Amino acid sequence: MTTTLRPTAPEQRTGDGGRSRSYEVCVNSRPVGRIDLAMDTRFGPGFGRIERLAIDERDRHRGRGTVAALAAEEVLRSWGCTQITVSVPAGAGTALGLAAALGYAERNRNLAKPLTAAPALPAGSVARPMGEEEYGRWREAEKAAYVQEWVDRGVPRPHAEAKAERDDALLLPQGPATPGTILRILAHEGTDVGTLWAAVRPGGSAWVFGVEVAAPHRGRGHGRTLMLLAERESLAAGAAALELNVFAANSPALGLYASLGYEPTEIHLYKLLH
């Protein structure tokens, strides 16, 4: 039997160089599923993405998904992509197993935790809203660190900088006065030790965008305190859950979040196309 991809509509193109197209997954011309592909222009022209891959239930566990994913790589190569990404729900064991077998590696993951009761901060730790001058210094440092994170993971610096500017404009259009924004400075025994950036989202959850402990104060538990602060502030703002993203290589952060009860919700994977 031959598994192929058959376009379901003309290819779509965007002004920024993006491309996308949907396909039926077919076995001997019989449709057995669907796959949607796109160029992930957030990171530059070389990044492709599987937006969706679904095989009909009666045709699962027969290698259809494997062949479709390999065919998708060929399509994206023909578009000039050198890397492919996909996001998989954390509980989708079959899909994660398929991705691993095909050589995908985890780049980052989303975590979440229900909020029920406001935790107490350790003795000597207090928080205050970020002032205007403090905000300006923090914002520049935050953007620079964000750019470097993506550069370290293979994104060309110009595209990483462009993404940082887009995200900054989207997430903080009014600076510290942006509705739902939580910006705090944590002090311990009178000394500033770290910063928190979170925001309440529509739908009842909050998202942690940044937790940073100043270099001289790391390794003393202040990262945990900042996360407790994030839970307190989010709960006070009406959020029922707290979510965040963490890169797979950040083992200390992964350990911290696990110890605080955060569980993965979505895994983001990538593969280089040679």
CA neighbor of 210 nearest in space, from 96, 273, 269, 130 = 130
Determine contact, residues 33/41, Cβ cutoff 8 Å. Answer: no
Residue 52 structure tokens: 């969706």
Per-block mean pLDDT, blocks of 10 residues, the chain (274 long): 89 88 95 95 84 95 94 95 95 94 96 96 97 93 91 85 92 93 97 97 92 95 97 96 94 95 97 91
CA neighbor of 262 nearest in space, from 235, 239, 231 = 231
- Domains defined along the chain, listed by start: 3-81 (3.40.630.30), 116-239 (3.40.630.30)
Determine contact, residues 122/232, Cβ cutoff 8 Å. Answer: no
Q: What residue type is 122 in one-letter code? A: P
**Model pTM score:** 0.90
- The residue assigned the tokens 């996360």 is 227
State the pLDDT at residue 152. 86
Helix axis angle for 64-78 and 93-101, nearest 10°, is: 50
